Amino acid sequence: MFEIPVWDLLASYSWDSKELEFSWEVYAWYYEDLIFLKNLELRIKIIWLDDRVTVIIEKLTTQVKYWDKICFINIENIDREFKINKEDTDPDDIGLIKDYTIDLKDVIREEILIKCID
């Protein structure tokens, strides 16, 4: 659902970028611990930097139920990196580019949980 092809950026020049905007209905079974009460609105910018892709979540808004708590989510300007080849010394939050695709599923869940737990 949150898999985004980046083959076009990988075939382009360094610092090339693209911007995407989505509005998704996220079904109750997609994340076992989150129930989405409103569509997930997402605006991202993806930048190709030689051996990695930087994803900037410019805006992520939704409303979720986490356990018995209703959380209004409004996140701006969060960045994550995805690499073609992940090294042992890389931090845990660096994702892997698989089959010319990045998957934002875990990133989105983590950011929503951070807001719900605060």
pLDDT tens per residue, range 44-97? 999 999 889 999 999 999 999 999 999 999 999 999 999 998 888 888 889 999
**What single DSSP character describes residue 103?**
E
Confidence of residue 104 (pLDDT cuts 50, 70, 90): very high
**What's this model's pTM, rounded to 2 decimal places?**
0.91
HSE-CB for 61 with a 13 A CA cutoff: 7
Instruction: Give pLDDT, residue 81.
Output: 95
- Collect contacts of 17-23 with beta carbons under 8 A, ≥24 apart: 17/45, 17/46, 17/47, 17/48, 18/45, 18/46, 19/43, 19/44, 19/45, 19/46, 19/58, 20/44, 20/46
Instruction: Give pLDDT, residue 74.
Output: 98
Alpha carbons 52 and 29: distance in angstroms, whole number: 31
